[in-house]
Structure 1
């Protein structure tokens, strides 16, 4: 999976005019120093919150309201990324109605991983060049020995986000740039960041009717939640392209990592995803939990999405390494 905190959004694709001063950064393909500083803040602050989580909880600054709000926000914003940014907007695994489309775009934006169009452009480029030259975040970019892989792992996990050269949105996400709803939501990214950070504090204060409830909710359901979701998302880029099982044939080093399945909402069944990118379900084998697929299933049952690209048994079996080896023999 991809994550980019760059807060620029593209100009509408139907405009041929040169950008004016107020629009000059729309869809920029170069990351500014100001954006890199903002990116660093949104990486470091949640990480420090995670580091402080145990002593804060031990000191009595964790209540059931905080746990509830953190779980709800993690579930909402996490599925905004996995169901919305990833399976819908990047890979077109299903067709939603407008309300679902807008809701998923907003929920994904509240994960604070960058505007939807920027995120999609990065991830589509990743699939085009997966684990080869041109991949924005392959852990194998520096080589295969231990030292090179350690450097590549760190780069793939988060340092690629600071690359000044950004993925061209007009090249990799032209369809999204024609969608007025998504263009507007991409432009509003800073607004959704603020909502994501302060809505839990407001809810915590109202539910407990205390300033302490607002503060602890901000710490747990905003900072800690954002930090956890960031690192789980980035682990798909780093861990799931380095270690794990590879039961399916793919042209890269994508792998399944079972212990990440629940926190990643099914995204860590990454090997099948790279073998069949448009499939709406990633955990296709027995026992593989994929909550993102369940969300899509529920939306389909409600009549709010259609044309879902569910896995086809024959297609899945053809892609299994074991079956291809048997045919070759």
Structure 2
């Protein structure tokens, strides 16, 4: 999870936090307005981007691309913060959250979903085949089964072993870039210029049973407005929810901020109000022209961009150095 600021001056921030040294934040975007279609995702996810790009190459929409892309880490047991193989809650249950949003403003979401490997596809089914935006828990599971999804065990031996080891002390303290909130958020612009997004996660490791973070919340973990752009978040979801982070980024772009400026300003909304020294939040954004922005509280957040058949992983700028 990750993010930004634009209108706050260094001097005003120094007044708010006199004991801290503030860095000057960039106000320029990271990319030229060219190279559409494109795929961009949080963290180091070249395989996910490749799957998304292949969907675009087959003539698929941006919606098809983001769904195909995030399904890759959902099915990867080595990615222990998304889908199959995800670390369980403190009761040993793997519970998944996901949301998806199309270019028309339609959205679907599932929260506290168990036993289904691809929550993003269930979220798309909620959007396209139900009158609702969000389904939760047992209701989400029953809907998934009614749509032909297969029920299966998502707790791998490795994740179970780590959980049992954690139970010996049962200490819970999120640590930036270590606590494994490696949510994948993905945005894509297709050949028609339409923007869609997806976000999926197994949430914080060893969270309280029933905890839901920002990832499945439209406007927090993900938001898309096809007239303006899209944004997604990663990190400690509670902080993103409190600021409606992704919606804020898109609205700032609507007001004229570049994606980079919008991400910085959104992160700074968190920094102003929270004890941020041991937490991470990262924001990622793209506008209608294909310009991008990325910003985080702590160093260590990166993103993966695919455009013009080239894929590159880039470290995002951060508030702390």
The structure in which a higher percent of residues are strand is: 2
Q: Which has the larger radius of gyration?
A: 1
Q: TM-score, normalised by structure 1?
A: 0.31
More relative contact order, 1 or 2 (CA 8 Å, 6+ apart): 2
Q: Which has the higher helix share?
A: 1
